[in-house]
A and B are shown apart, each in its own frame.
Chain A
């Protein structure tokens, strides 16, 4: 079946450090890929997405590139802020029909001043 694998957290960084959260996937079809963010005590918010190979999603300084050859969608940010502390979920959905989202287990990011 379809699955998403994320690096385990927590990831602890100092403010202005570079961030990479790895995400790889397996899918039977051609998925769309997503990163969602969950701030403490809140629901999920879509951070960025990419719908086909080599697409780059970006938002709020975060980026991720859809790499079909390595089945990856790593999340990157050049300079993190304390306010970026949250749990980040990688997810996919198949492009055939009204498919549901498959989530990774989430990676907690903690940014200290």
Chain B
């Protein structure tokens, strides 16, 4: 158990368009979901933490109007990159913490490769 999926796995879009990435916990309820961004040859950078039914908490330096996060249910969180530009091209990974699990348990999705032309 504890599978997290992301959709799409890859997306290529034109500059100025918006892109939505979905993160789903397939077999458990996720009270908290995390969104990370990974640059080539670099570590994961936490972008935001979202709790079901409440507003996301963004890390310093992350534009909340640029990266819209919605956690509408216990199994789904979405990240929308608004008015995407080439510098937004990156690998976006979500993770989910299972309801009732230990605080250090996160299950990661397979990631979404975003390319903005």
Q: Contact residues of A with B, CB < 8 Å? A: 32, 34, 36, 41-46, 49, 51, 89, 93, 95, 97-101, 103-106
Q: Contact residues of B with A, CB < 8 Å? A: 4, 6, 32, 34, 41-44, 46, 49, 93, 95, 97, 103-104, 106, 108-111
Given A32-B104, A44-B93, decide whether A101 and B46 contact each other with a Cβ distance below 8 A. Answer: yes
Query: Which DSSP category, helix, strand, loop or mixed, fits chain B's interface?
Result: strand
Q: Are A97 and B103 in contact (CB under 8 A)?
A: yes
- B6 proximity list for chain A (CB < 8 A): 43
- B46 proximity list for chain A (CB < 8 A): 100-101
> Shortest distance in angstroms between B92's beta carbon and chain A's nearest beta carbon?
10
A82 to B73, CA, bound (A): 40
A106 to B43, CA, bound (A): 6
Pick the residue among A43, A89, A93, A106 that contacts B104 (CB under 8 A): A93
A106 to B106, CA, bound (A): 18
Q: Are A105 and B42 in contact (CB under 8 A)?
A: yes
Q: Are A43 and B110 in contact (CB under 8 A)?
A: yes
- B93 proximity list for chain A (CB < 8 A): 43-44
Given A43-B108, A43-B110, decide whether A89 and B103 contact each other with a Cβ distance below 8 A. Answer: no
- B42 proximity list for chain A (CB < 8 A): 105-106
Pick the residue among A34, A45, A97, A105 that contacts B43 (CB under 8 A): A105
Pick the residue among B43, B49, B111 that contacts A43 (CB under 8 A): B111
